[in-house]
Homo-oligomer: A and B are copies of this chain.
Amino acid sequence: MRTAFGFEIGDATLDRKITLTYIGFRDKKEMGKPFVVQLPDSDVITQPMAVFYGVGKEDSIMVDRLSRNKDGKVILDSNGAVAGGELYDFLGMKAAHNAEMTEDGIPIPPGVTLPLNVHAYYLEQGKLPDGLYAEIDLQIRKLEEIVGKEFGNPDNPLLNSVRGCPRITMPGMMATILNLGITPDIVKGLEKITGNKRFAYDTYRRFIDMFSDTLFWVPHERFEKVFQDVKNTWSIENDLDLTGSHMETIAREYLKLVKDSGNQIPYDPKEQLDLAIKAVFMSAYLPQAVEYMELNNLMGKSGNTITIMPMVYGNIGEDSGTGVSFTRNPNTGENKLFGNFLLNAQGEDVVAGIRTPLPLEKLAELFPDLYKQLILAGKKLEKRYKDMQENEWTIEKRKLYFLQTRTEERTALASLIIATDLYSEKIIDEKELVERVFPNEIDVLLHPVFDPKSEKKVLGKGTGASPGDVSGIIALTPGYAKELYQRGKKVILVRRETSPEDVGGMSASKGILTKIGGPTSHAAVVGRGMNKSVVCGYGDSLEIYEGNNSNRGYILINGVKLTEGEETSTNMLSLCGSTGEVIKGEVPTIESIIAQTAIGIAKQLIGQNQTEEDRAQIRFAEEHKNSKLYRAFNEYLEICKKHSKLGVRANADTPLDAAVAIEFGAEGIGLARTEHMFFQGSKTDAIRKFIFGYTEQMKTDGLAEMKQYHKEDFKGMFKVMDNFPVTIRLLDPPLEEFTFPDNDAINRFAEQLVTHYGGDRDGVRERISQQMKSLHEINPMLGCRGNRLSVMYPKLIEAQVSGIIEAAYELKKDSYNPIVEIMIPVANCAGEIKYTREEAEKVIEKVKARYEGVNVEYKIGTMIELPGAALTADRIAGEADFFSFGTNDLTQATLGISRDDGGKFISQYTQMFYNHKDPFVTLDVERVGRLMQICVKEGRAVKPGLKIGICGEHGGDPASVEFCHKIGLNYVSCSPYRVAVAIVAVAHANLGIEHTRR
């Protein structure tokens, strides 16, 4: 029978497109109300309904009905229509890899896969296609032939696993049912054939649990409780000590549980299969899967398949078992097989983290041949998939069967090390190397670490499963974690173990601590993918007491009680995801190793070695700058820069920051905030003298001091940034920001004025207070700031510009090459830019006249940070040498949200209305981005090639950087510590890499 979807395969004219309609449920309670999302049209056409892969009797490899063309793309076999594509576009990632392992000669059971369109058809039509089961029957017969067992035959039963296989991996999200096909009759047959009652009933009870959990929503926890009760009844500690009778009892109790829930497992294996297929398909749309897809930007990009695979039994005795291995260490990147296993167990025992498994070194001792087989297979798979692989496998009576291979999550550290190693090993090329590390992984590598000098109240140690040094408030449920997150809190989620339903809460947390489970447990794998700090398997010294409506929950950890939701040093918790340390209270952090190294190098560069701390940091840099990590880091960034179009600059206000930025690869300063220079120590008094001075003399003196400070500061900056452009923003904040914190400060300043200029103390204090009042604004963000200061107080232009430009001239005279870019902030029309520009140019001309024969290159440009400016870019372009988007303010004005006050509602808006993207973190493309596009287009229409950058916080956000690349900016500028992140983002944007998965 050669039909699929009701028409014959091979009739190429019947290529109909199926529109994938996405049906999901946000909440189990809402299962009755599916929500529908339109997915992009599928290009997959006229596929067969079931594809078989496996090794035939004569060792011939069979991938039924599919074959590859010369480009390695998969096409339907001679009976089907042509449809080139990747194998996983037909079979889903997991089944595709299994088929490919079969091709590669790696031992793996055969399988039958229902490809993507079967699922699509099911969603679209609400039923499975006609003829599907006939097709499945046909294919299962091949499985029976190969393994020599028969589906439904008690005398020689074939049991199958039914595995959900999404097109793109979603670890643990889709249901899997093992041991399907077992019935009361067959369990007896199984006992008889194997003579192993324990195995037979263990297999049976596993099936009952999984099937009922998936089909009838009888929670696994209830089965688990029954299991524990039986163990308690017989006082049995270890599962392995349970006998066949125990298992029989357990299976009977399990059946009772199912019956009590009002359900009945069919006795017919084919009926079991029918229900299982439907349930596995639907599992892709359970709330946790929807949440995962949303978090990982997979909505509308997935689609699912199902693979039916004969069981191999790891639970058939002490010469059997099951394990998970990584071809390289996913925590450190080390090129060494890493993983763990359990004897006499089935797969889910390891992955679910229920029993704490053994390390692979133990396997090497017990079964050295199998260990070697694992290593060799791993290397082969790495070559095919060009990346570190995670493998699940089962040993049935000393024979190794692979069950799956996949490219698995890893820590940021491992990501960088593995990628650069693969590049050295010539497994991947430059572009692939760039693709392989994600901008936020570089960010994580630069995350702060606990200050080693701080005192830490270490409570104990679990398994460090995903690095990160974090502190936060305790939450004991995912819901509460999300709530705290929305209130702007840092959260540590503490759970017995995590499950797919916890994903949202994990995402909202900085760190995750679990009681049970090892480095391959759900918490570890998922937390690693989210770049969370994870400490797992803390053990029994951690007791968790969840709260209820009237009482807060708490934990006892080595006897210390910590209450959830309390933001106090006695209740907060800190985790070190590398060492596994769990610490009471909040621990201060310092820069990461990479950052510290860069700072040390920068200090050496600018000759800042006066204090012991400076010297210690320089020594630290000496030690670490040739480390594998630091070298990998630099090598990677260098290659990224080779593949970039956008430049990356830094926002820096001090020579040290500038030097750090250079060390990280910045190509200039995109934003030097002059007001920050006046916030330092006594420099504030200079500008205060201008603001609060009540005679011309005081004001003139204040301006002269300001100028002098600028001159000194910029000489320092220009030296470090020799030959690099330095964009200097004139004063931005309202003058109110320079007022006094308290009366003491007023008195001190008044005293200073009186000492220098004479006058009456009280009178002076009164004048200062009056002036403070008159400076007060109700909405300072929309008040007298930025260029408005220059317009209202033109003498500020003279003080600032002459300081800056004299610094440049003096250095130029000394053979440096300062490149000065003066930037006008908070302007909304061309006229005011022209005004300030002309005033500044007068000042520059005057300075120039004093340095004969010297000429400093300079530009005068403006920030675009008000919608009004973006909308008159054509006119402004006539007055400005460059634009720089100040996207913080631009976002603020466009959305009408104050960054200072937004906290109250912005997280609510982010979740409810902004697609979970905080517009102050990731550019609001639709609105703010649109203004930027208008501005770029209209500005360059007047002045082709106009240089345009961005210097808001968004300049370091990968998604925003991608947008900046798209609209043709010249550079992004961000904080020195994000320069490296931006460099990666810029390269990724240039190579068009989509960040769907992380």
Interface assignment of A605: CB less than 8 Å from any CB of chain B: no
B contact residues around A31 at 8 Å (CB): none
Interface assignment of A826: CB less than 8 Å from any CB of chain B: yes
Contact of A913 among B826, B829, B866 (CB under 8 A): B829
B contact residues around A777 at 8 Å (CB): 898, 900-901, 904
**Interface 9-residue window, one of A49-57, A103-111, A375-383, A924-932:** A924-932
In the complex, A865 Cα to B871 Cα: how many Å? Answer: 16
In the complex, A897 Cα to B893 Cα: how many Å? Answer: 10
Interface assignment of A133: CB less than 8 Å from any CB of chain B: no
Interface assignment of A779: CB less than 8 Å from any CB of chain B: yes
| A897 shortest CB reach to chain B, Å | 6
In the complex, A411 Cα to B357 Cα: how many Å? Answer: 97
Interface assignment of A914: CB less than 8 Å from any CB of chain B: yes
B contact residues around A931 at 8 Å (CB): 867, 871
In the complex, A927 Cα to B866 Cα: how many Å? Answer: 11
B contact residues around A900 at 8 Å (CB): 777-779
Contact of A828 among B779, B826, B872, B895 (CB under 8 A): B895
Contact of A905 among B780, B791, B928 (CB under 8 A): B791
Interface assignment of A792: CB less than 8 Å from any CB of chain B: yes
In the complex, A777 Cα to B781 Cα: how many Å? Answer: 12
Interface assignment of A782: CB less than 8 Å from any CB of chain B: yes
Contact pattern, A 863-895, Cβ under 8 Å of B = 1, otherwise 0: 001111001100000000000000001001111
Task: Establish whether residues B894 and A779, one from each chain, have CB atoms under 8 Å apart when the complex forms.
Answer: no
Task: Establish whether residues A868 and B895, one from each chain, have CB atoms under 8 Å apart when the complex forms.
Answer: yes
Interface assignment of A831: CB less than 8 Å from any CB of chain B: yes
In the complex, A294 Cα to B780 Cα: how many Å? Answer: 33
Interface assignment of A5: CB less than 8 Å from any CB of chain B: no
Contact of A927 among B782, B832, B867 (CB under 8 A): B867
In the complex, A400 Cα to B904 Cα: how many Å? Answer: 81
Contact of A893 among B780, B788, B826, B896 (CB under 8 A): B896
Q: Quick one: closest B residue to A889, CB to CB? A: B896
In the complex, A695 Cα to B204 Cα: how many Å? Answer: 54
Interface assignment of A909: CB less than 8 Å from any CB of chain B: yes
Interface assignment of A783: CB less than 8 Å from any CB of chain B: yes
Task: Establish whether residues A896 and B868, one from each chain, have CB atoms under 8 Å apart when the complex forms.
Answer: yes
Task: Establish whether residues B914 and A829, one from each chain, have CB atoms under 8 Å apart when the complex forms.
Answer: yes
In the complex, A901 Cα to B735 Cα: how many Å? Answer: 13
Interface residues of A in 905-936 (CB under 8 A from B): 905, 908-909, 912-914, 924, 926-928, 930-931
In the complex, A519 Cα to B915 Cα: how many Å? Answer: 69
Interface assignment of A835: CB less than 8 Å from any CB of chain B: yes
Task: Establish whether residues A831 and B913, one from each chain, have CB atoms under 8 Å apart when the complex forms.
Answer: yes
In the complex, A930 Cα to B926 Cα: how many Å? Answer: 17
Q: Are A896 and B835 also in contact (CB < 8 A) when A871-B931, A912-B791, A926-B872 are?
A: no
Interface assignment of A536: CB less than 8 Å from any CB of chain B: no
B contact residues around A872 at 8 Å (CB): 926-927
Task: Establish whether residues B896 and A828, one from each chain, have CB atoms under 8 Å apart when the complex forms.
Answer: yes
Q: Quick one: closest B residue to A924, CB to CB? A: B868
Interface assignment of A282: CB less than 8 Å from any CB of chain B: no
Q: Are A908 and B792 also in contact (CB < 8 A) when A893-B867, A893-B896 are?
A: yes
Interface assignment of A784: CB less than 8 Å from any CB of chain B: yes
In the complex, A896 Cα to B786 Cα: how many Å? Answer: 11
In the complex, A892 Cα to B912 Cα: how many Å? Answer: 26
| A781 shortest CB reach to chain B, Å | 4
| A16 shortest CB reach to chain B, Å | 30
In the complex, A904 Cα to B909 Cα: how many Å? Answer: 33
B contact residues around A898 at 8 Å (CB): 777-779, 781-783
Task: Establish whether residues A901 and B784, one from each chain, have CB atoms under 8 Å apart when the complex forms.
Answer: yes
Contact pattern, A 842-881, Cβ under 8 Å of B = 1, otherwise 0: 0000000000000000000000011110011000000000
| A659 shortest CB reach to chain B, Å | 34
In the complex, A361 Cα to B490 Cα: how many Å? Answer: 90
Task: Establish whether residues A894 and B866, one from each chain, have CB atoms under 8 Å apart when the complex forms.
Answer: yes
B contact residues around A835 at 8 Å (CB): 912-913
B contact residues around A930 at 8 Å (CB): 871
Task: Establish whether residues B826 and A896, one from each chain, have CB atoms under 8 Å apart when the complex forms.
Answer: yes
| A873 shortest CB reach to chain B, Å | 11
In the complex, A871 Cα to B784 Cα: how many Å? Answer: 27
In the complex, A831 Cα to B724 Cα: how many Å? Answer: 45
Task: Establish whether residues A904 and B828, one from each chain, have CB atoms under 8 Å apart when the complex forms.
Answer: no
Task: Establish whether residues A832 and B871, one from each chain, have CB atoms under 8 Å apart when the complex forms.
Answer: no
Q: Quick one: closest B residue to A865, CB to CB? A: B896
Contact of A871 among B782, B889, B926 (CB under 8 A): B926
B contact residues around A865 at 8 Å (CB): 896
Task: Establish whether residues A897 and B791, one from each chain, have CB atoms under 8 Å apart when the complex forms.
Answer: no
Task: Establish whether residues A784 and B927, one from each chain, have CB atoms under 8 Å apart when the complex forms.
Answer: no
Interface residues of A in 548-564 (CB under 8 A from B): none
In the complex, A656 Cα to B749 Cα: how many Å? Answer: 56
Contact of A908 among B779, B791, B889, B928 (CB under 8 A): B791
Contact pattern, A 168-205, Cβ under 8 Å of B = 1, otherwise 0: 00000000000000000000000000000000000000
Q: Are A901 and B791 also in contact (CB < 8 A) when A829-B913, A867-B894, A913-B832 are?
A: no
B contact residues around A905 at 8 Å (CB): 784, 788, 791-792
| A738 shortest CB reach to chain B, Å | 16
| A34 shortest CB reach to chain B, Å | 18
Task: Establish whether residues B782 and A897, one from each chain, have CB atoms under 8 Å apart when the complex forms.
Answer: yes
Q: Quick one: closest B residue to A930, CB to CB? A: B871
B contact residues around A780 at 8 Å (CB): 778-779, 901
In the complex, A894 Cα to B869 Cα: how many Å? Answer: 8
| A37 shortest CB reach to chain B, Å | 14
B contact residues around A927 at 8 Å (CB): 828, 867-868, 871-872
In the complex, A865 Cα to B777 Cα: how many Å? Answer: 22
| A856 shortest CB reach to chain B, Å | 29
| A876 shortest CB reach to chain B, Å | 11
Interface residues of A in 577-636 (CB under 8 A from B): none
Task: Establish whether residues A782 and B901, one from each chain, have CB atoms under 8 Å apart when the complex forms.
Answer: yes
B contact residues around A908 at 8 Å (CB): 791-792
| A555 shortest CB reach to chain B, Å | 29
B contact residues around A896 at 8 Å (CB): 781-782, 826, 828, 865-868, 889, 893
The 10 closest A-B pairs by CB, nearest first: A782-B898, A831-B913, A779-B898, A783-B901, A866-B896, A777-B901, A867-B867, A778-B900, A868-B927, A779-B781
Interface contacts beyond A783-B898, A872-B927: sample of 20 additional A-B pairs, CB < 8 Å, sorted by A: A777-B904, A778-B781, A778-B898, A779-B780, A782-B896, A782-B901, A784-B901, A788-B905, A788-B909, A791-B905, A828-B894, A832-B913, A835-B913, A866-B894, A866-B895, A868-B894, A868-B924, A872-B926, A893-B893, A893-B896
Q: Can you show 5 pairs from A to B with CB atoms below 8 A apart? A: A778-B780, A782-B892, A791-B905, A792-B908, A826-B896
